[in-house]
Structure 1
Amino acid sequence: MAKKDGIFISQDKYVEEILKKFGFTKVKTASTSMETQKPMLKDEDGEEVDAYMYRSMIGSLMYLTFSRPNIMFVVCACARYQVNPKVSHLHVVKGIFRYLKGQPKLGLWYPKYPPFDLVAYTDSDYAGASLDRKSTTGGCQFLGCRLISWECKKQIVVANSTTEAEYVAALSCCGQVLWIQNQLLDYGYNFMHTKIFIDNNNTICIIKNPIFHSKTNHIEIRHHFIRDCNEKKLIQMVKIHTDKNVADLLTKAFDVSRFQYLIVSIGMVNL
């Protein structure tokens, strides 16, 4: 939706369609997309549900994450149980639909006016995946206050520490930043030395200090190119307080107040 002072991207009509398709038009609404007190487990002894219906619901929600980064973490978490979904997993998916019922028009706002600088945020949830104890990477990139890219994915290796999990997440964010930098060069914008905000000071020390870096041989060599990017001033790692790290939204579930704060901070509004 184009307006005089910016562009608003919302999939509200699609939300109405999937709520109607799966029978959630007359349910009670939820304040968040996922409960914090009930982590998702494999639940081997749980009652099975219709896998086809479960996958259909997940597929519909995946399409919605193109404009709804606020549900991306929980949708990705639920997607891991598509092979043999249980009642407990379906309960979480239903919670997402109840949340959408209460927030059907929420979307991303892209204002027309400056600032127009490239910044990024990175975070991880150490050993957050209950199935295999792998960590979750979260990252997002902004042009000014405009969210242009985001990710939530399970890391491919089991991290030995919080610092290692944060380091792998920072690598992923760095790669995305470099891609955006190259794309913007085609339009005449040079955003070298891009700030990447992270709330783990040890990770910054490893990236900046060769002495610390030499003690991380257990991390795959391909992860170490982030230090070269820092030395070439393609990026700069900046410490940020955990409370201000908006990439947190893509790594775990939160209570209502924290969830609402992150939604506003990432640039989502109701218009």
Structure 2
Amino acid sequence: RNVKQIMKYLISSKNEGIQYKWDGSADYKLTAYCDSDFAGDVETRKSTTGYVIYFCGGPISWCSRKQPIVSLSSTEAEYIAAADCVKELLFLKSLIEELINTKVSKTLNVDNQSAIQLMKSGQFNRRSKHIDVRFHFLCEKVREGVLEVKYCPTNNQIADIFTKALGKQKFNVFKELLLCKI
């Protein structure tokens, strides 16, 4: 049954692809959307990280994977997802700057205001002090101004497609933001 569904999807999506557009400006931007589903795995209670990174109007990197640890809050799960996304964002920035020999700006869109506050302030309290040190480079990069962090309303969070099952309408909206008709 699952193979049948996959084949049906592949046949129906054979005319879809990724389109990149350069508007002619000298302003190159990497725009990332990251999200997590808090404790989404019912067996392990681990969260799923999902992100997509756009360049020149199309996605160039995306990910959906289980987080390595069990998060104690949605803020922690989002923070871990953001750290994972920023590692990829910084790698892509270095790669693109090497190829085109010009600076690339970076924006990270997150739908959890508590996680954004934690990234910007770097101040940990009793509910967040347990977060593993390996994720704290994120605060350092935000404080250094290496990237801009913005709030993205949940309804506009494209990375949702990589973290949880969506209704047909929302799935199709996000799919159209990732793919185009060819």
Residue 123 in 1 paired to residue 35 in 2?
yes
* Residue 71 of structure 2 corresponds to residue 190 of structure 1: no
Q: Does 1:227 align with 2:143?
A: no
For the pair shown, the structure with the greater C-alpha radius of gyration is 1
Name which of 155, 168, 176 aligns with 2:80: 168
Partners of 2:23 and 2:87 in 1: CA distance? 27
Per the alignment, residue 107 of structure 1 pairs with 17
Q: Quickly say closer, same or farther: Cα 1:157–1:102, change in 2 above 3 A.
A: same
In structure 2, stretches of 5+ residues that fail to align are none
| TM-score scaled by length of structure 2 | 0.90
Are 1:145 and 2:57 counterparts? yes
- Could you say which structure has the greater relative contact order, defined with CA pairs below 8 angstroms and 6 or more residues apart? 2
Return 5+ residue gaps in structure 1 as ranges: 1-90
Give the count of matched residue pairs. 178
Contact 1:196 1:236 in 2 (8 A): yes
CA drift of 1:174 comes to: 0.7
DSSP-derived class of the 1:117 partner = strand
- Percent identity for Structure 1 against Structure 2: 30
Q: TM-score, normalised by structure 1?
A: 0.62
3-state SS of paired residue (2:33):
strand
The residue correspondences of 1:1-271 to structure 2 (distance < 5 A) are 91-114=1-24, 116-186=28-98, 187-192=100-105, 194-211=106-123, 213-215=124-126, 216-266=128-178, 268-271=179-182
Corresponding residue for 1:22?
A: none
Taking the aligned partners of 1:158 and 1:93, their CA distance within structure 2 comes to 31
Question: In the TM superposition, what is the alpha-carbon distance from 1:254 to its structure 2 partner?
Answer: 1.4
CA contact (8 A) 2:36 2:77 kept: yes
Query: 3-state DSSP class of the match of 1:164?
Result: helix
Measured after TM superposition, the shift of residue 202 of structure 1 is 0.3
Letter in 1 for 2:103: N
| Richer in strand (by share) | 2
Deviation at 1:214, TM superposition (A): 4.5
Deviation at 1:247, TM superposition (A): 0.9
2:22–2:57 contact (8 Å) kept in structure 1: no
Change (3 A) 1:114 1:161: farther
Alpha carbons 1:136, 1:153 under 8 Å: kept: yes
Q: Distance in 1 between matches of 2:129 and 2:80?
A: 13
Question: Would you say the 8 A contact 2:20–2:56 is kept in 1?
Answer: no
| Structure 1 position 92, deviation (Å) | 3.9
- Provide the C-alpha distance between the structure 1 equivalents of 2:171 and 2:181, rounded to a whole number of angstroms: 15
Alignment check: 8 A CA contact 1:119 1:144 kept: no
Deviation at 1:195, TM superposition (A): 1.1
Task: Check whether the contact 1:114–1:144 (CA below 8 A) recurs between aligned residues.
Answer: no
Deviates more, 1:256-265 or 1:128-137: 128-137
